[in-house]
């Protein structure tokens, strides 16, 4: 077997690992489309349920299809009793991403994929129930309360906010959450999606791929970035302190999260959208600190490093104004990205080939075995 040369930069950067009809990203340095529709159009005119339908079924739903789909997802919110019991055993101090990773895996044994439970059933069930898992675990450990995981809300954004806060969300907040889910839904062969495709390429069950993807999303070089951005922003009391702080961090070459992107050269098209959302909620909340601090950090990074904000940066602020605790930021990313992961899993299955690269060996030459009693 002939080996190709390793790419100079490593990490398979710029290596085409397969074909997809789901998403373009970074075309001419900026573009993002889901099945041909621009992210700007989708974020402005569409809803998350329409986008999930588009990603999973290939076309935008008609009115009656959308109504049916929203009902279907709504009927999939409730958790089985065994799931609740498992969630109660996951400690209060656990990372919420571990809760979803374990919950996803456990659901795979409680409700396995089979001849009557298809891959689309599993995909929709996971999307609809992740919020229920997360918030059930949260309330059980923070308040000792076993919540009912049916909210009566017919959108995933509304369902999550309603369960978390115990009441119907206001429409502006719900819509920001909805837009955020649209923006986070899909992004081509990012690390978690690629992990899902590698896993499903051995032809295991659907849950195995999503469980692995959650693990990949957990890292600060991927989904964890929005939490890191929040921690950065909220440490400064005002914009001037932020400017000083960022200059100090740059001087000591500290890593500043929420900027730049492996695939985008010039800007992240999702960032403008979520910045507008964050600004709207900041005004609604009469905020005088968080948004101005974020904006100043943005300006300093542009001026000093010519770096642009990516989706994670202003998402952090938007989520804060939605009343979301920081450790739930990446789990929200899971809820959204499950739509994209699921679309890629189905696409990989349609024309599967085992994903198995090779390695460049740099270890010891072949050497004779030394028996235990002769080792020194």
Q: How many CB atoms lie within 10 A of CB 299?
A: 14
Cα-flanking dihedrals φ and ψ of residue 154, to 5°? -105, 15
Nearer to a copy of itself, 115 or 365 (CB): 365
Q: How many CB atoms lie within 10 A of CB 3?
A: 9
Nearer to a copy of itself, 251 or 370 (CB): 370
Q: What angle do the packed helices 96-110 and 206-217 form, to 10 degrees?
A: 180
Of 214, 232, 229, 222, nearest in space to 331 by CA: 214
**Residue 326 interacts with a copy of itself (CB under 8 A): yes or no:** no
**Single residue of 74, 132, 190, 309 touching a copy of itself by CB under 8 A:** 190
**Single residue of 173, 201, 315, 339 touching a copy of itself by CB under 8 A:** 201
CA 223 remoteness from chain centre: 5
Size of the site for a copy of itself (CB under 8 A): 117
Catalytic residues: 222, 261, 312
266 to 255, 261, 314: CA distances (angstroms): 20, 9, 17
**Residue 36 interacts with a copy of itself (CB under 8 A): yes or no:** yes
Nearer to a copy of itself, 119 or 299 (CB): 119
Nearer to a copy of itself, 24 or 326 (CB): 24
Q: Which stretch binds a copy of itself (CB under 8 A): 142-150, 240-248, 268-276, 361-369?
A: 361-369
From residue 210 to residue 239, the character string flagging contacts with a copy of itself as x (rule: CB under 8 A) and all else as - is: -xxxxxxxxxxxxxx---------------
**Residue 129 interacts with a copy of itself (CB under 8 A): yes or no:** no
**Single residue of 136, 160, 194, 313 touching a copy of itself by CB under 8 A:** 194
Rounded distance between C-alpha atoms, residue 240 and residue 42, angstroms: 36
Q: Which stretch binds a copy of itself (CB under 8 A): 90-98, 123-131, 307-315, 320-328?
A: 90-98
Rounded distance between C-alpha atoms, residue 132 and residue 101, angstroms: 14
Handedness of CA 200, 95, 221, 52 (dihedral sign): positive
**Single residue of 57, 72, 95, 285 touching a copy of itself by CB under 8 A:** 95
**Single residue of 56, 133, 199, 274 touching a copy of itself by CB under 8 A:** 199
Rounded distance between C-alpha atoms, residue 223 and residue 319, angstroms: 14
Q: Which helix (H) or strand (E) holds 233?
A: helix 225-233
67: Cβ–Cβ under 8 A, 6 or more apart, which residues?
none
- Plot region of 260 (φ>0 → left; ψ -120 to 50 → alpha; else → beta): left
**Residue 371 interacts with a copy of itself (CB under 8 A): yes or no:** yes
**Residue 30 interacts with a copy of itself (CB under 8 A): yes or no:** no
Handedness of CA 125, 333, 215, 96 (dihedral sign): negative
Handedness of CA 319, 274, 96, 167 (dihedral sign): positive
Site for a copy of itself in 50-89 (CB under 8 A): 50, 60-63, 66, 82, 85-86, 89
Cα-flanking dihedrals φ and ψ of residue 309, to 5°? -70, 140
Nearer to a copy of itself, 162 or 222 (CB): 222
Asked if residues 90 and 102 have their Cβ atoms less than 8 Å apart, the reply is yes
Site for a copy of itself in 336-355 (CB under 8 A): 353-355
Q: Which stretch binds a copy of itself (CB under 8 A): 31-39, 174-182, 245-253, 291-299?
A: 31-39
Q: Which helix (H) or strand (E) holds 27?
A: strand 23-27
Tell me the closest approach of the beta carbon of residue 132 to a copy of itself, in angstroms.
17
**Residue 118 interacts with a copy of itself (CB under 8 A): yes or no:** no
From residue 136 to residue 175, the character string flagging contacts with a copy of itself as x (rule: CB under 8 A) and all else as - is: ----------------------------------------
**Single residue of 8, 11, 252, 306 touching a copy of itself by CB under 8 A:** 11
**Residue 33 interacts with a copy of itself (CB under 8 A): yes or no:** yes
Asked if residues 282 and 337 have their Cβ atoms less than 8 Å apart, the reply is no
């Amino acid at each position: 077997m002939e080996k190709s040369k390793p790419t100079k930069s490593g990490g398979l950067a710029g290596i085409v690992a397969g074909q997809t009809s789901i998403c373009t990203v970074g075309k001419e340095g900026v573009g993002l489309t889901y099945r041909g529709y621009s992210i700007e159009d989708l974020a402005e005119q569409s809803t998350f349920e329409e986008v999930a339908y588009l990603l999973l079924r290939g076309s935008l739903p008609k009115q009656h299809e959308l109504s049916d789909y929203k009902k279907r997802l709504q009927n999939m919110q409730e958790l089985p009793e065994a799931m609740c019991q498992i969630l109660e055993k996951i400690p209060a101090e656990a990372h919420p991403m571990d809760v979803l990773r374990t919950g996803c895996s456990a659901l795979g044994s409680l409700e396995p994929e089979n001849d009557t439970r298809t891959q689309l059933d599993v995909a929709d069930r996971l999307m609809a129930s992740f919020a229920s898992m997360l918030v059930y675990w949260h309330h059980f450990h923070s308040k000792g309360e076993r919540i009912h995981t049916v909210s009566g809300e017919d959108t995933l954004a509304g369902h999550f906010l309603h369960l978390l806060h115990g009441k119907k969300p206001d429409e502006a907040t719900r819509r920001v959450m909805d837009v955020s889910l649209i923006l986070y839904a899909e992004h081509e062969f990012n690390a978690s999606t690629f992990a899902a495709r590698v896993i499903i390429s051995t032809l295991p069950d659907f849950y195995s791929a999503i469980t692995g993807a959650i693990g990949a999303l957990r890292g600060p070089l991927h989904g964890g970035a929005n939490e890191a951005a929040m921690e950065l922003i909220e440490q400064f009391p005002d914009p001037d302190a932020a400017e000083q702080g960022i200059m100090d961090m740059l001087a000591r070459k500290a890593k500043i999260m929420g900027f730049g992107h492996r695939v985008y050269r010039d800007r992240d098209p999702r960032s403008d959208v979520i910045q507008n959302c964050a600004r709207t909620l900041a005004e609604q909340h009469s905020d005088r600190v968080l948004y101005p601090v974020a904006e100043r950090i943005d300006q300093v990074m542009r001026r000093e490093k010519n770096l642009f904000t990516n989706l994670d940066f202003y998402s952090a602020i938007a989520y804060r104004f939605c009343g979301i605790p920081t450790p739930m930021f990446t789990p929200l990313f899971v809820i959204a990205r499950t739509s994209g992961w699921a679309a890629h899993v189905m696409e990989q299955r349609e024309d599967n080939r085992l994903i198995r690269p090779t390695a460049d060996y740099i270890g010891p030459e072949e050497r004779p075995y030394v028996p235990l009693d002769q080792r020194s």
